[in-house]
Structure 1
Amino acid sequence: MVAAPASAQQADERALQVADAMVKAMGGAKAFEQTRYLRFNFAAEREGRPAGPPVEHLWDRRTGRYRVAWTRDGKRYLALFNVNTQLGKAYADSQEVTGEDLERALKAAYGRFINDTYWLLMPCKLRDPGVRLKYEGERQEEGVTYDVVALSFNEGIGLTPKDRYWAYVNRETGLMDRWAFVLKGADVPPTPFLWKNWQTYGKIKLSNERVNPANGNKILFPALAVPEEVDDRVFEDPNAAVP
């Protein structure tokens, strides 16, 4: 596969055009802005088997309120916090934690928010502040034309600003068919994942399956939904029923 050359200025402008077209194909910026609540599970699968219990997420995108539950070292954790302030409460096996245990739990919860929502929403985050885009040309593969956009980050952006990504955007559909990434600036070949099973949820379109073509490992998003209403107690009461 050979990329078509482009000047630096053209590359940046073209990258922005591809990014905007991708958001439009996913429903449009207004539709994402109107999508207040996002509910999903983040599940990993290795060698055809679950790699562990799924991480359960519920996000009020308007206020930043967040509910996330995960398992670590045999304990079930739950955090009710705000992603804008990173403050809130946390529980381990249904018991509220305090002090350093609370700090660690909230740090882990915020890390899950950053990581898992990026795996879900990366295509609509190319214009986020601090993201650098570069158009790396056109690629042809199996009869499909892809526009390839490289992403890097300004220092201080996110938890791992040295990460690099490449988005392979299907020119016909406008959707991202796959990405590849190198984490933490490592000198290794990029790791690819196919983005499969694009579905409509409310007013937006999301992919609920990632597949590594090299080894078949998967990242899945079961229980993906965009509820129109969520009881406030879900973000305050650890025992509240999640929609």
Structure 2
Amino acid sequence: MKALYTSILVLFFCFFTSCKETKYKPSSKTVDTAAASSAKQDSSSLLDKCINAHGGIQKWTSFTGISYNLEENGKTVYQLTNIKDRRAYLKSNDYEVGFDGKVAWAKPDASKIPGKSPAFYYNLDFYFLGVPFLLKDPGVVATDEGTSVINGKNYKTLKITFGSEIGLSPEDVYYLYLNPETFRLEILTYSVSFFKKENAQINSAKTYSEYKEVQGIMMPTKLENFEWNDGKLGKSTNHIRLFSDIQFLNEIPDKSIFEAPKGSITESIN
């Protein structure tokens, strides 16, 4: 990826795993989050109001890493991500997955990984969980779209687009629907154009709920996918992800955990 920061990469594997999901665009470069935190912020913008409602960009960038347990369909995956450079390590009973800064890897293989690819999967949950903070990455364009009404409820609306040189799917469009009183993210809708560029339509939605304060940052502990048609939230697709034991880390003692172990398969991140 050409930018120093990582922007969103759509992960669309509903055809392969019977559910809809997205993924943010992976990065092989170090992220200078200190620069983001020290940069002059327009606190009056809707994006900054949203970020401040979740704890503020300076609080987010003050940490080195984040870890948590993800439960989905009765299975648990431990995930650790370095916020500064986006290296990652994931472990379940069936596999280990990681990103060492240059290559994504899996052990023993990728057969049980969503998307069948470590590059496809290693940062999926981190990026969903990292919204709205990660929308401060260079090349991300946030536009205040005013008020929207979804299923009879008013929301402040942010439209997210990307510069033409950002990531693998700059055609993607995202909408964040914020509680008008708290400015907290409640609904995220998105296009899915990674596999088919002509399919850049808003056709999926994800709800953020059951927020919990973790070390000064408001974190959702439940993400659920819904059908999205003509600006309306439809039925749940029964794709629910639950996050627990969320912890922000001031340091990561054993950085070798990100390195590809012997016997793993690897995929380069360009």
* TM-score, with length taken from structure 1: 0.68
Q: Match for residue 68 of structure 2?
A: 40
TM superposition shift of 1:163: 2.5
| 1:30 corresponds to | 58
- Give the CA RMSD over aligned residues: 3.4
> Which residue does the alignment assign to 1:220?
242
- Quote the Cα distance in structure 2 between the aligned partners of 1:113 and 1:89: 9
Per-residue deviation, 1:30: 1.0
Question: In the aligned structure 1, how far is the partner of 2:153 from the partner of 2:186?
Answer: 10
Q: Residues 192-231 of structure 1, C-alpha deviation per residue, up to 9 Å, x if partnerless?
A: 2221011111121111212234124323223322244543
1:211 and 2:233 aligned = no
Distance 1:25 1:63, change over 3 A: same
User: Equivalent residue for 1:241?
Assistant: none
Q: Percent identity?
A: 22
- Determine the C-alpha separation between the residues in 1 that align with 2:75 and 2:58: 34
Q: Which residue does the alignment assign to 2:204?
A: 191
Distance 1:178 1:196 in 2: 9
Q: Which amino acid aligns with 2:84?
A: R
Consecutive unaligned residues in structure 2, runs of 5 or more: 1-41, 111-115, 227-234, 262-270
Which of 145, 161, 165 is residue 152 of structure 1 equivalent to? 161
Q: Which amino acid in the other structure matches residue 181 of structure 2?
A: E
Distance 2:150 2:107 in 1: 48
Task: Answer yes or no: is the 8 Å Cα contact 1:15–1:134 preserved in 2.
Answer: no
Cα distance change on mapping 1:180 and 1:236 into 2, 3 Å? closer
2:183 alignment partner, SS class: coil
Spell out the pairing of 1:1-243 with structure 2 (5 A cutoff): 17-44=45-72, 50=73, 53-69=75-91, 76-82=94-100, 85-87=101-103, 90-92=106-108, 108-140=117-149, 144-184=153-193, 185=197, 186=199, 188-213=201-226, 214-215=235-236, 216-232=238-254, 235=257
Q: In the TM superposition, what is the alpha-carbon distance from 1:43 to its structure 2 partner?
A: 4.1
Matches of 1:161 and 1:69, distance apart in 2: 31
CA-to-partner distance for each residue in 1:96-154, whole Å, 9 max, x for gaps?
xxxxx9xxxxx933432332222111212222112222222212457754211111223
Aligned length, in residue pairs? 202
**Higher Cα Rg, which structure:** 1
Give the C-alpha shift of residue 53 in structure 1: 3.4
Aligned partner of 2:216: which letter? K
Distance 1:225 1:150 in 2: 29
The code of the aligned residue for 1:78 comes to E
Higher helix share: 1
Q: What TM-score results when the alignment is normalised by the length of structure 2?
A: 0.62
Q: Equivalents in 1 of 2:251, 2:133: separation in Å?
A: 23
CA deviation profile, 1:36-68 (whole Å, cap 9, x unmatched): 220123444xxxxx1x73443112223544212
CA drift at 1:233? 6.0
One-letter amino acid of the counterpart of residue 152, structure 1 = T
